[in-house]
Chains A and B, each alone.
Chain A
Amino acid sequence: MRRVVSVIVNNSSGVLARLSGLFARRSFNIESLTVGTTEDPTLSRVTLVVHGDVATTEQVIKQLYKLVDVLKVTDLTEEKMMARELMLIKVTVNHQTRQEINHLIEPFRASVVDVGRESITVQTTGDIEKNEALIDLLRPFGIKELARTGVTAMARSQQKVHPVQQLLT
């Protein structure tokens, strides 16, 4: 099962290597990993998408907590969360398909960010399932290139997840 884990870490050099090294060493499979600073510049939020059962995820979380630079780990899978990734898809087009693709991507609220003679590049933001649905739709036209950022996520407001501020007190 796919699980989304949010990790607050010290924003210092080597922390990402420590994190990814832990996964490699313990043979945990990471599907995606994104990282960026939080509202506190000394802290970064890492969002991990991992594959595994509850026990594996629990072990992942415990191992993450052992790292001195890790402050807070939250398994968001069962929470009400917002999970988004940005995706760029360069699709092959011709006179007939150009219009068709424009129509197709509309319900996805995707936008065309680059137009070429033989291809267009579509940008979309959404959860993993939505993005995969779009890929499936566009594949028959011919996908020349695909870039995904991996998921970044946080819990929705009503959920009692420790905000970064609480960690600092």
Chain B
Amino acid sequence: MTTKVKTRTMSEETHGSLKSKPIRGAEMIFESLEREKVEVIFGYPGGAALHIYDALYQTNMKHILARHEQGAIHMAEGYARVTGQPGVVIATSGPGATNLVTGLADAYMDSLPLVVLTGQVASGAIGTDAFQEADVLGITMPITKHNMQVRDLNDLPRMIKEAFYIATNGRKGPVLIDIPKDISGGEASYEYPEKVSLRGFKPTTVPNILQVRRMKEAVAQAKKPLILAGAGVLHAKGHQELVTYAEQAQVPVTHTLLGLGAMPAGHPQFLGMCGMHGTYTANMAIQEADLLISIGARFDDRVTGRLDQFAPHAKVIHIDVDPAEIGKNVPTEIPIVGDAKQTLSMLLEEDVVSAQSSEWMKQLNKWQETYPLWYEDDEATLKPQKVLETFSELTDGEAIVTTDVGQHQMWVAQYYQFKQPNRWVSSGGLGTMGFGFPSAIGAALSQPDHPVYAVVGDGGFQMNIQELATVKDYNIPVKTIVLNNGSLGMVRQWQEVFYEKRYSESMLNQNPDFAKVSESFGVKGLRVTTIKEFEEAITHSLNYDGPMVIDVAITPGENVFPMVSPGTALHEMVGISKGGM
């Protein structure tokens, strides 16, 4: 029998005899992170963060050394997306901090909770263009939910407490704390506040009951109702309430890209994703609906298509925890400010009255049968859609799947049958290449026993390919599927459709051998060229305890359909059926 030896944590030390003794700012950071129950930190050291990394040395905190700060922050995003808990990142000043910018903007757009700590040059040197100095507060102001710079060490614990509170309450988002080197190195007595008191930050999560009742009446009268569910449902952990409500109210459901998984794929009331590459049924349902209920979705332009022709017959109900989203893009008849879970729970408590939607359901089912997603299968090449259908079947729709942005992302969204919530990690709002692979690392760390796959393109994988060293270093069992078509696929598709096939700089003629690259990092690498080889590779990967890269030679020139071209309405989609182009 093995005895688990409990190591003394810094928390116990400071709670105990050292409580009144002054401690360094850097130690305060980890003390505070422990109290916030942070389990893993992603980061990269550097000059202005050295006090912090020195203090890390004496804690038990799990730190993942990424190979690039962008990798670190995408890992934190993956962690946050799967767990709902804030992902924590540490980087140094100047270039360390500026390398976080893409991840911050990505997390801001997709409402992911992050707490980001950046080192800064010493207080006295701020503003002198010192070595590795950047105005991180100024740079990140438009891409964070909130940011702060520590001017007085005594404020540091309070600021960390506030950062976690702001990041996770109301609409979630990234919060950054900039910490000058003299602050992290300075000493003061430490006290962590019990509560947060922010007089300017009081998000509304419980909706107004009268508005909820108005919604109930509107649903009862609707003949063609539709729920458009976004990531807000997942952030609020309201997926179960969504399914129950939709079933009881007899309202069909479509999802935004990031909402996938809230309603299980295969549910008879689920119409698939809507928007630019959504299903015919979902998009036509929006255009025909007499009542559109948006829950935790923000009417992004990739969802709405041409705004003035969006949902032309529908009365719109908009449920969102962020009041600024209501009425921002689409006029709303019934605005409901509230958390998706709270609102749906309140609706369920009100005794749900069903919509008069039986005819509508029949029509939708007919559309689904007549216009399913389609592709031309051929024996000669490896069709990406076939690859993803196979992948979905072999993993039973249960894997955590992350992606970059582009064709592969849309094919996953179309063909992977997500049966559970919080297993889909993708860069929606910002559309960040290089997101998929590192975010899978964060996802894997949060769910060590769950299969995690990064589906990436050959372009995006090369944007953060250095993190192969990280997966090897910590033996993180992320499996990467490179859908390799030798090009920036979505760019190439747009050039084909909108730029008369002038493929300006979208061909990746000098791709490395991804399997060999992986092997050189010590990561198992495979290359597959047939569907049989792909099946074998996935079956093998499911039982392989360690990271792996599967380079899949898909059909070059394959396009994503159906498609709503920019500036057109949802019902003007093209490529709905075979030969229908």
C-alpha gap A55/B327 in the complex (Å): 8
Inside 8 A of A63's CB, which chain B residues have their CB? Answer: 324
Total CB contacts across the A-B interface at under 8 A: 39
- Nearest B residue (CB) for A64: B324
- In the complex, the answer to whether B323 meets A167 with C-beta atoms within 8 Å is no
Cross-interface CB contact of B323 among A14, A22, A65, cutoff 8 Å: A65
As a 0/1 sequence over residues 13 to 29 of chain A, the CB contacts with chain B under 8 angstroms (1 = contact) are 01001100110010000
With A and B bound together, what is the CA distance between A8 and B565 in angstroms?
44
Whether B198 sits at the interface, judged by CB under 8 Å, is yes
| Cβ–Cβ contact A70 & B200, under 8 A | yes
Whether the Cβ atoms of A10 and B200 lie closer than 8 Å is yes
- Bound: A168/B198 CA distance, A: 11
B496 to chain A, nearest CB (A): 32
What is the bound-complex CA distance between A32 and B218, given in angstroms?
A: 43
Minimum CB–CB distance for B320 against chain A, Å: 11
Q: Is the CB of A115 closer than 8 A to any CB of chain B?
A: no
State whether the Cβ of A80 lies closer than 8 Å to any Cβ in chain B. no
Are B166 and A68 within 8 A (Cβ)?
yes
The CA-CA distance from A10 to B149 in the complex, in Å, is 15
Interface of A is mostly: helix
Contact yes or no, A66 B322, CB < 8 A: yes
Would you call A58 an interface residue if the criterion is a C-beta within 8 Å of the partner chain's C-beta atoms? yes
Q: Judging by beta carbons under 8 Å apart, are A58 and B138 in contact? A: no
Q: Is B38 an interface residue (CB 8 A)?
A: no
Q: Let me know if A69 and B200 touch, CB within 8 A.
A: yes
Residues of chain B contacted by A135 (CB below 8 angstroms): none
Given that A17-B138, A62-B323, A65-B324 are contacting pairs, would A168 and B199 also be in contact in the complex, using a CB cutoff of 8 Å? yes
| With A59-B327, A59-B328 as contacts: A14 and B137 at CB distance below 8 Å | yes
Bound: A62/B198 CA distance, A:
18
Residue of B nearest to A67 (CB): B200
**Which residues of chain B come closer than 8 Å to A65, judged between CB atoms?**
323-324
Asked if A62 and B166 make an inter-chain contact with CB atoms under 8 angstroms apart, the answer reads no
Residue of A nearest to B328 (CB): A59
A81 within 8 A of B: no
Is the Cβ of A71 less than 8 Å from the Cβ of B137? no
- What is the distance, in angstroms, from B141's C-beta to the closest C-beta of chain A? 5
B498 at interface (Cβ–Cβ under 8 A)? no
Inter-chain CA distance A67–B201, complex, in Å, is 8
List A contacts of B198 (CB < 8 A). 68
A26 CB to nearest chain B CB (Å)? 10
Interface string of B158-198 (1 = CB under 8 A from A): 00000000100000000000000000000000000000001
Instruction: Give how many B residues have a beta carbon under 8 Å from the other chain's beta carbons.
Output: 17
Binary contact track A41-61/B, C-beta < 8 Å → 1, others 0: 000000000000001001100
B556 within 8 A of A: no
| A22 to B142 Cα, complex, angstroms | 7
B146 at the interface (CB under 8 A from A): yes
Contact among B201, B323, B324 for A68, CB-based, below 8 A: B201
B200 touches A59 (CB 8 A): no
- Neighbouring A residues of B328 by C-beta, 8 Å: 59, 62
Give chain A nearest CB distance to B334 CB in angstroms. 16
Q: Which residues of chain B have C-beta atoms less than 8 A from A59's C-beta?
A: 324, 327-328
Give the chain B neighbours of A70 by CB distance below 8 A.
Answer: 200
Are A21 and B142 CB-contacts (below 8 A) given A55-B327, A59-B324? Answer: yes
**Distance in Å: Cβ of B280 to nearest Cβ of chain A:** 33
Instruction: Flag if A71 contacts B327 (CB, 8 Å).
Output: no
**Complex contacts, B324 vs chain A, CB 8 Å:** 59, 62-63, 65-66
Q: Which of B145, B322, B324 has the most CB of A within 10 A?
A: B324
On chain B, the residues within 8 Å of A18 by CB distance are: 141
Measured between beta carbons, the chain A residues less than 8 angstroms from B200 are 9-10, 67-71
The interface centre, meaning the residue of B199, B323, B328 with most chain A CB atoms within 10 A of its CB, is B199
Per-residue B-contact encoding for A64-98, CB less than 8 Å = 1, 0 else: 01111111000000000000000000000000000
One digit per residue, 1 when the CB lies within 8 angstroms of any chain A CB and 0 when it does not, for chain B 201-229 equals 10000000000000000000000000000
CB contacts (< 8 Å) of A68 on chain B: these are: 145-146, 166, 198, 200-201
- A22 to B146 CA separation, bound complex (whole angstroms): 12
Interface residues of B in 109-160 (CB under 8 A from A): 137-138, 141-142, 145-146, 149
Q: How far is the CA of A71 from the CA of B327 in the complex (A)?
A: 22
CB distance from B109 to the nearest CB of A (A): 13
B323: which A residues are within 8 A, CB to CB? 62, 65
B327 touches A58 (CB 8 A): yes
- Nearest chain-B residue to A14 (Cβ)? B137
CB distance from A105 to the nearest CB of B (A): 43
Chain B residues with CB under 8 A of A55: 327
What are 29 A-B contacts defined by CB distance under 8 Å? Answer: A9-B200, A10-B199, A10-B200, A14-B137, A14-B149, A18-B141, A21-B141, A21-B142, A22-B142, A25-B142, A55-B327, A58-B327, A59-B324, A59-B327, A59-B328, A62-B323, A62-B328, A63-B324, A65-B323, A65-B324, A66-B322, A67-B200, A68-B145, A68-B166, A68-B200, A71-B199, A71-B200, A167-B199, A168-B199
Closest 4 CB pairs of A and B: A62-B324, A68-B146, A71-B200, A68-B201
> What 15 additional pairs, Cβ within 8 angstroms, besides A59-B328, A62-B328?
A9-B200, A10-B199, A17-B138, A18-B141, A21-B142, A55-B327, A63-B324, A66-B324, A68-B166, A68-B198, A68-B201, A69-B200, A70-B200, A71-B200, A167-B199
